[in-house]
Homo-oligomer: A and B are copies of this chain.
Amino acid sequence: VSHGIMTYSDKEAFAQAVVAGDVRSAARLMRLADDREPLARDLLSLLFPHTGRAHIVGITGNPGAGKSSLVDNLITSWRGRGLSVGVVAVDPSSPFSGGAVLGDRIRMMRHATDPGVFIRSLATRGALGGLSRSAGDIATVMDAMGLDRVLIETVGVGQDEVDVVRMAHTTVVVMVPGLGDEIQILKAGILEIADIFAVNKADKPGADRLAMELQSVQHLGTDQRHIPIVRTVATAQEGIEELVDAIETHAGLLRSSGELQERDARRLTQAVFQLVHEAVDADLTELFDRLNKENAIIDELLSRRSAPATVAQRLLELINKI
């Protein structure tokens, strides 16, 4: 079916195929969503009633923290527990998203033939824009497909990555001893989003000190939550079951305390705001171009005759007249 001429029942059939777990349809929808095709929005709306089952887990940490090996092992552990797993990789250094060293790439390939595993990497498209929106759409598709756990892997610096992680129910922050910048990272807002700390490469010197620092730094947070610290050696499969246990325990706590609903509400509200922003942006670009043609706005700015706030005010008045 060419998507130019899709009828409502075509769309329903497409959505049903995704819900039934059809991998080709799911992959096609993810591509459409990535390309911001209007069709994707309709399909995602049709899928929406079938979502809300998957537990979404964010994994973040510096490049070199070993997130990919950890993700690889988490997949294996969950599969061993009879759960299906989706992975959204938005880390440019991750083998899942194509930035692999050869060994990593070979290791992850063992999941490629497992029908209970669905891995999707997100191209950063050079300009890094819109990552969190695309990651959210892909997580929605995976949720609708019936995958039990959805992992979103990202790099833990920058607003965009923090936004990605905000879409998760449970966020694991991966740290390693010896990088020396642990505390800086905590300062940069990561403490607020961490539900679990994984101290990876825990066989390396400095792991004890790092774990102790993470313990003591918890008291600096605004909300005084207890954040479990799990030691792992991903390359030796050590601590993986403990990490999965910590994630599952956190999921249970969220459910029983009602916090899961709160986080879900926050995620969905964020999705709504993103869609509104996108629509406003499209209008805005058009309005700005028109205003510039009629009034040479850019010249006014360049010659410092009109301040940005003045131009913004004029655009706002135009928006409200649409």
Contact of A188 among B92, B279, B284 (CB under 8 A): B92
- Contacts known (A93-B181, A302-B268); A310 close to B160, Cβ less than 8 A: no
Q: Flag if A184 contacts B272 (CB, 8 Å).
A: no
Q: Is A252 in the interface zone, CB < 8 Å from B?
A: no
Interface footprint category on A: 35 or more
- Contacts known (A188-B92, A189-B126, A320-B322); A44 close to B307, Cβ less than 8 A: yes
Contact of A127 among B93, B162, B280, B311 (CB under 8 A): B162
Give every chain B residue within 8 A of A273 (Cβ-Cβ).
Answer: 281, 284, 288
**A129 nearest in chain B by CB position:** B159
Q: Is A315 in the interface zone, CB < 8 Å from B?
A: yes
Rounded to whole angstroms, the CA-CA distance of A68 and B262 in the bound complex is 41
Give every chain B residue within 8 A of A41 (Cβ-Cβ).
Answer: 309
Rounded to whole angstroms, the CA-CA distance of A25 and B319 in the bound complex is 35
Rounded to whole angstroms, the CA-CA distance of A181 and B125 in the bound complex is 18
Q: Digitize A33-56: 1 where CB-to-B-CB distance is under 8 Å, 0 elsewhere.
A: 000000001101100111110000
Q: Which 3 A-B pairs have the closest CB atoms?
A: A158-B158, A159-B160, A275-B312
28 interchain pairs, CB-CB under 8 A: A44-B307, A45-B310, A48-B307, A50-B304, A51-B304, A52-B304, A63-B181, A92-B184, A99-B187, A124-B187, A124-B189, A125-B189, A126-B222, A128-B158, A128-B162, A128-B189, A131-B159, A157-B157, A158-B160, A159-B159, A265-B301, A265-B302, A268-B301, A268-B302, A276-B280, A276-B319, A279-B316, A320-B322
